[in-house]
Structure 1
């Protein structure tokens, strides 16, 4: 793991075209002194690097990338790495169109150059007799000149990338294309300078190969932009300016000039520039791009609003609380980018195949040429088959198969309020046997309300509330909120507590009004040997009891009741119907948890568990060979979330940074659990389809290109057809992955469309 002294950087990488390129860049970075870890994202053309600044610098990292035959630049502040790295393909469409048109004309002009007249020749001779009256030498020399010019103009980057790779001892897709088109051009030039009846020219094939390759790149770039659209949309949500109020004067300032505590005016129809709390006015806001919740949410004085959310119908004045990279919007964007750049376990298989793919193809191409020369003694036939093998064997589809699906899925998930931490988390989530649910905040709303305050003789209800609120006011526990809210509702004032210590899964200890104050559950009082007063009646079913003691003498308790979330029972039923074993683990008492479990439809319940008890139960399920997901609040359940095969945090925008699971659900709804699992399954399905297509393409395409059909059917794959098939393979994988952009969950209402 990286030490605290390490830094992270994301560098745009220019010139990558396939998984082999990705592997070379990654290897170069990982072998650089001071680099702790490096991951290269082929989809976004980006390298994410963790390094020790005392041993390496960003410029040194760029030099390492360049030493592997590729280029890199420092990211521009505020710019999108993915958008910049795709700019190298900006002119690919124009070049592809020009080269393909020239290739089609070259194919037509080359028809009279054939050694034999076929049915197509007779047809063209009747249609365009002038074509067959042209001097063959003029045609050859004209085609050679045009082909050379277009190779230099349109194919320049391909040949430069191949040369750089060879210079550094690496091979990639550019190597195959450059070798194939180069050999075809040189042989055709030889046949032009020294013509003979049995020497054919392949200028049309050279142009069409380059044209289809460029067309494939242009289509890939367009598909990649669509795949990355979700994170680009997130980055565009934050406005560039804000209306700052100072001394009663409104001034429009740059977002970089806003400081914490500044008052910001947001008018109807504007996006909120920073995370803030409302101090004046009320409105409704649209947070759908952040949480997936399409229904407008009412917000008033004291409520928190998030940067990037849309203010609908009221002018509000807010106090800035989080700025820049600390806003929830920035955190979500960062998590999505990291997840899209992560590597799924399935991708390792593709990586291993791609790392040896190009050398194997070169061997197969040499073998193809040797066999054809031995059998037919025809250089033309041997050359055509060899070029077809070199061109059709493109590893792009294999390299894009997994990251393309992962990138689209992570982006779509973010639109739905589901944040996957990476490909590994997504794959684990798709393959579960059991799911463990926490009670408070997961199945229940997580805002219990005090039902009763029960003091012992000598103390009043206000006494208990005053001292308990002092101890609990800085706690995030739902019961703490219930106590503090009740004290505030009675306008009770208190002095701040000191020496506050949270006891995980048990309660809190503090120094209050010169007393040692203890608030917690029954287990904490038993461990502390504190006797329960006889005057307090037993707890009622469905009620959670919080005991209170001063100087280890019980002075009473608080009874609170939480409510089941509206969609909890239907979500549990859906989880069971999908074949999952559903359990509830809670630190609450059996009396409080049993009614909730019954309402939710959960039969397996274990109550009174502290964090260590939940952790042990997860481990025992795993020892039964079950693949377990844990769903909790990400704070008290951190250990269990980390131990589970897949940890799911029921989060919210305000506490996103505290998440501890593999998946964060920004919608605090049990239905979101099903959506996260279903999307993971759909994504893994697309990954497997992509890998099967990529593997089948090469397994079938290479033998066909080598001439497997010729002995029986006398059919050869023309090099330009091989080039078209090569482009089609990558585009097909991307198109299949893009289907996930329109994926819709059945469990979430108001799911925003992509």
Structure 2
């Protein structure tokens, strides 16, 4: 039975305020017919849905979200504009309600018995004439002022709470709506039927809303800053390009450029597409893509990446990758997916948030009952119950982990470290052993032929012609070395047939009617091919590649790779962190030992095929080690997948080969240390956020309930509780934003 085709859609979601909202939207989408998976990102206010278009449509997904009590728009509306509008709207309403609350506080001072030190101070600075104003006039003025401001500023909160109630759910809006609603209704009752000791709480209603909206505005700004990295990536690509047709230059929209088109890029402009330089020479800045600030030289035949800056030369290029296929688009997509993922630590927060609001409602009711039967004062019982409602903050708990993850993933992208998600980041932060591949990881991955050694009856040209024909279709660094050397010698060859790669060993092919076998010593031993006595032993540090025709060895190639400049420093830094560092390679001991010695690695295992590396990773894990594997993402795919954290050494020109949990866009060993350190710093911030969010509620709710009143006569006013609630979420986000300034130690 053929597999059903699915489509993916990301919808901006409007109205989510806490982890409970996130859970409700996600559940509503998952319960929709045809939806295969759904993930909701509270930080970015979006839902990523995979669905069967035969059973569901975008309109049905929007309806499911709206039926859950929230709103959503189609992707073209863009979440970024929504976040900016949300921030501006919340800030304006916050200022208005806070000013109104301050006015209400001053006006209500002569009305009741709940005056404190601030009230007494203001009574001495406000003209005495004010206090002669009739109490009834003040009460009715405050009723009208509060009703107008609360309806205008808080209608979104009340509407969201009502929709959630209709669907049998609760969230942060429920707590605020219930607290301010009860306070307003009690105050309105006290206005219509005034009596001694019957206080009014109009000031608390407005100040609670004001601080909540101020917190929303600050949260929206912090979220915008947290998502700044991926937004900056999206702005790198220009909207137009200079296309050259028959020598005529035309400025066209980027969408009109096709693969193979020639484009001209002037100094100071960004490259619009991934391309190959045809004419000219320049230097480019790829720092926004790779984290490497050093300008890179580019000339005819070199690859340039969309979004990188052209510094000092006009170049003509041939477009090779467009739109979503460019490296810039791949990086942006990976960052967005990682920011939307969930870290294992968040599971605890999600479970707590799911039951948080009902528990707070119960605690508030218990507080009211205890205070009422202890004091007989409805006013006092009401104030403490409202304080409990508004001081509780599931927002902080829900944002604790995703806020840190979002900022860290964005920061990682800026320095060329791409995490696949929260789980990958957490695993990278808890390693105690690092396994390194040799070729392409510790070495440059560009070996150069040092010698061509034919047996008697063959010439160097014969070996190069035959080997180049077969290796032309291989992507192995040694294959590139052979082909590049043959081309430099102007050797021509006929295309090989039936090319079959043997991972970690070599390849077979049909070349010039011969069965050709090219590979390492292990492959030849397995094939029963005898090595010729006329060829001298391999020199230390040299990798040997054998070639045979019809099961007869006809010679070999000796190549040498060079250690990357920062490899020794990186290995030393990893060891200084207490990590056990090993090298596993498929190369021979003679070729690997000098590289290991230069890099300062004492544990080396050579001659391993992919299965051997996989077995060694498992053996280390069986010792209780948490292992990070660093490889090239292709030959080491099995080992990368088995490791606790697979780290792929990528290149800016070929992210499609990404494998493992972390991709290093800069193929530099020191980036391994950067990835681990950033992961460790992020996990530390996550834990700080969770401790703060949990500790805030553990301490704040009892304080609001009046636990200190019997001994110290201390009670929290509802508006003070609201200010503390807003501070909690802002504190979590502010702590997470510290990661934007994170810098590698080396």
Q: TM-score range by the shorter chain?
A: over 0.9
Name structure 2 gaps, 5 residues minimum: none
1:68 maps onto 2:35 in alignment: no
CA distance in 2, matches of 1:161, 1:453: 75
Deviation at 1:81, TM superposition (A): 3.3
Query: 214-223 or 505-514, which moves further after superposition?
Result: 505-514
Relative to structure 1, is the Cα distance of residues 86 and 56 closer, same or farther in structure 2, using a 3 angstrom cutoff? farther
Deviation at 1:123, TM superposition (A): 4.4
CA distance in 2, matches of 1:116, 1:502: 83
1:462 maps onto 2:457 in alignment: no
Deviation at 1:301, TM superposition (A): 0.1
Relative to structure 1, is the Cα distance of residues 117 and 435 closer, same or farther in structure 2, using a 3 angstrom cutoff? closer
Relative to structure 1, is the Cα distance of residues 450 and 3 closer, same or farther in structure 2, using a 3 angstrom cutoff? same
Do the aligned partners of 2:87 and 2:218 also contact (CA within 8 Å) in 1? no
Task: Report what 2:210 is aligned to.
Answer: 211
Residues 132-531 of structure 1 mapped to structure 2, 5 A cutoff: 132-531=131-530
1:176-221 residue CA offsets vs partner (Å, 9 max, x unmatched): 0000000000000000000011111000000000000000000000
CA distance in 2, matches of 1:474, 1:732: 56
Do the aligned partners of 2:102 and 2:203 also contact (CA within 8 Å) in 1? yes
Task: Report what 2:701 is aligned to.
Answer: 702
Do the aligned partners of 1:240 and 1:255 also contact (CA within 8 Å) in 2? yes
Please give the secondary structure, in 1, of the residue aligned with 2:94. Answer: helix
1:387-442 residue CA offsets vs partner (Å, 9 max, x unmatched): 00000012000000000000000000000000000000000000012110000000
Task: Report what 1:57 is aligned to.
Answer: 57
1:95 maps onto 2:77 in alignment: no
Deviation at 1:32, TM superposition (A): 1.8
CA distance in 2, matches of 1:149, 1:362: 27
Do the aligned partners of 1:115 and 1:197 also contact (CA within 8 Å) in 2? no
Please give the secondary structure, in 2, of the residue aligned with 1:647. Answer: strand
Deviation at 1:85, TM superposition (A): 4.9
Deviation at 1:54, TM superposition (A): 2.2
Q: How many residue pairs align between the two structures?
A: 744
Task: Report what 1:8 is aligned to.
Answer: 8
Task: Report what 1:589 is aligned to.
Answer: 588
Do the aligned partners of 2:706 and 2:714 also contact (CA within 8 Å) in 1? yes
**TM-score scaled by length of structure 1:** 0.97
1:469-493 residue CA offsets vs partner (Å, 9 max, x unmatched): 1111121111001001111111111
1:668 maps onto 2:682 in alignment: no
Deviation at 1:88, TM superposition (A): 3.3
Please give the secondary structure, in 2, of the residue aligned with 1:197. Answer: coil
Do the aligned partners of 2:583 and 2:596 also contact (CA within 8 Å) in 1? yes
CA distance in 1, matches of 2:117, 2:312: 73
Please give the secondary structure, in 2, of the residue aligned with 1:113. Answer: coil
Task: Report what 1:693 is aligned to.
Answer: 692
Please give the secondary structure, in 2, of the residue aligned with 1:546. Answer: strand
Task: Report what 1:750 is aligned to.
Answer: none
Relative to structure 1, is the Cα distance of residues 248 and 206 closer, same or farther in structure 2, using a 3 angstrom cutoff? same
Deviation at 1:82, TM superposition (A): 4.3
Task: Report what 1:542 is aligned to.
Answer: 541
CA distance in 2, matches of 1:622, 1:439: 21
Deviation at 1:55, TM superposition (A): 2.1
Relative to structure 1, is the Cα distance of residues 116 and 574 closer, same or farther in structure 2, using a 3 angstrom cutoff? closer
Q: What do you get for the CA RMSD once the two structures are aligned?
A: 1.3
CA distance in 1, matches of 2:121, 2:378: 28
Do the aligned partners of 1:230 and 1:412 also contact (CA within 8 Å) in 2? yes
Name structure 1 gaps, 5 residues minimum: 748-754
1:41 maps onto 2:63 in alignment: no
Relative to structure 1, is the Cα distance of residues 109 and 586 closer, same or farther in structure 2, using a 3 angstrom cutoff? same
Do the aligned partners of 1:286 and 1:295 also contact (CA within 8 Å) in 2? yes
Deviation at 1:58, TM superposition (A): 1.7
Relative to structure 1, is the Cα distance of residues 586 and 124 closer, same or farther in structure 2, using a 3 angstrom cutoff? closer
Do the aligned partners of 1:80 and 1:232 also contact (CA within 8 Å) in 2? no
Relative to structure 1, is the Cα distance of residues 272 and 121 closer, same or farther in structure 2, using a 3 angstrom cutoff? closer
1:732 maps onto 2:731 in alignment: yes
Please give the secondary structure, in 1, of the residue aligned with 2:633. Answer: coil
Deviation at 1:510, TM superposition (A): 1.0
CA distance in 2, matches of 1:707, 1:530: 87
CA distance in 2, matches of 1:215, 1:155: 12
Do the aligned partners of 1:586 and 1:606 also contact (CA within 8 Å) in 2? yes
Do the aligned partners of 1:14 and 1:85 also contact (CA within 8 Å) in 2? no
**TM-score scaled by length of structure 2:** 0.98
Relative to structure 1, is the Cα distance of residues 122 and 172 closer, same or farther in structure 2, using a 3 angstrom cutoff? closer
Deviation at 1:84, TM superposition (A): 3.2
Please give the secondary structure, in 1, of the residue aligned with 2:39. Answer: strand
Do the aligned partners of 2:401 and 2:690 also contact (CA within 8 Å) in 1? yes
CA distance in 2, matches of 1:239, 1:293: 21
Deviation at 1:124, TM superposition (A): 3.8
Deviation at 1:120, TM superposition (A): 5.5
Task: Report what 1:746 is aligned to.
Answer: 745
Query: 554-563 or 507-516, which moves further after superposition?
Result: 507-516
Task: Report what 1:109 is aligned to.
Answer: 107
Task: Report what 2:634 is aligned to.
Answer: 635
Please give the secondary structure, in 1, of the residue aligned with 2:252. Answer: strand
Relative to structure 1, is the Cα distance of residues 591 and 124 closer, same or farther in structure 2, using a 3 angstrom cutoff? closer
Please give the secondary structure, in 2, of the residue aligned with 1:144. Answer: helix
1:293-350 residue CA offsets vs partner (Å, 9 max, x unmatched): 0010000000000000000000000000000000000000000000000000000000
Do the aligned partners of 2:274 and 2:303 also contact (CA within 8 Å) in 1? yes
Please give the secondary structure, in 1, of the residue aligned with 2:293. Answer: coil
Please give the secondary structure, in 2, of the residue aligned with 1:32. Answer: coil
